[in-house]
Amino acid sequence: MKRHTKTSKHMASQKGFTLIEILIVVMVLGILAMIIVPQINVSTEDAKESTLSTNITALRNAIELYYHQHNGVYPGAVKVDGSASPTAAEAATAFVQQLTRYTEADGTVSVTKTADAKYGPYIKNGVLPTNPFNEMATVLCDVATTDITSKTSDATTGWKFYVITGNLMANDGDHDDL
């Protein structure tokens, strides 16, 4: 009998959790995770939308300032040498350079400020802001569309710019309305 009492005392003095206690803790943690994780995803989406709104506003402001300083011509409407009728690829190159470097009144790009190249740069860090939904900082320029209400996204670049109308939109396939 003494042996049985000694074993019971030995077992009672051991510290630890039972299987039931561990299962209860795991279930509580699972329930908490189900409540918290969706809130994190919503916060991330809200942050991306806020960043997109800020970036597109900054780009639109730069475009409008360029437009007013260059006699009603949008960036990308002329090539980097100031000559007219660029292709879509030339317009995209010109768009970026005309916003990130110094320009003359006719849109000719210069890496240094001169008496003639006195405008800009409109984007100070030298690169377009990133579209947070597709992580791209590139632009697709449409050089043919004249309808101001025509806007379609193809999700191939961060931004889409209509050179003739001046419309700028996010080009990620889901945020055309911003």
Task: Dump pLDDT digits (tens) for 77-112.
Answer: 999 999 988 999 999 999 999 999 999 999 999 999
Mind listing the pLDDT tens digit for each residue in 2-56? 555 555 555 556 678 898 989 999 999 988 888 877 777 667 888 889 999 999 9
81 part of a folded domain: yes
130 part of a folded domain: yes
Q: Is the pLDDT of residue 130 over 90?
A: yes
Predicted local distance difference test score (pLDDT) of residue 165 = 94
pTM of the full predicted structure?
0.76
Mind listing the pLDDT tens digit for each residue in 139-178? 999 999 888 787 778 888 999 999 999 999 998 877 766 6
77 part of a folded domain: yes
Residue 60 domain boundaries = 48-178
Check if the beta carbon of residue 166 is closer than 8 Å to that of residue 74: yes
Could you give the dihedral angle defined by the CA atoms of residues 107, 110, 114 and 118, in that order, rounded to the nearest 10 degrees?
40
Task: Classify residue 166 by its DSSP letter.
Answer: -
Q: How many domains does the chain divide into?
A: 1
Query: How many angstroms separate the CA atoms of 84 and 132, rounded?
Result: 33
Predicted local distance difference test score (pLDDT) of residue 149 = 80
120 part of a folded domain: yes
| Sheet strands (E) in the chain | 102-103, 109-110, 139-142, 159-162, 168-170
Predicted local distance difference test score (pLDDT) of residue 115 = 96
33 part of a folded domain: no
Predicted local distance difference test score (pLDDT) of residue 25 = 92
Query: How many angstroms separate the CA atoms of 59 and 66, rounded?
Result: 11
140 part of a folded domain: yes
124 part of a folded domain: yes
73 part of a folded domain: yes
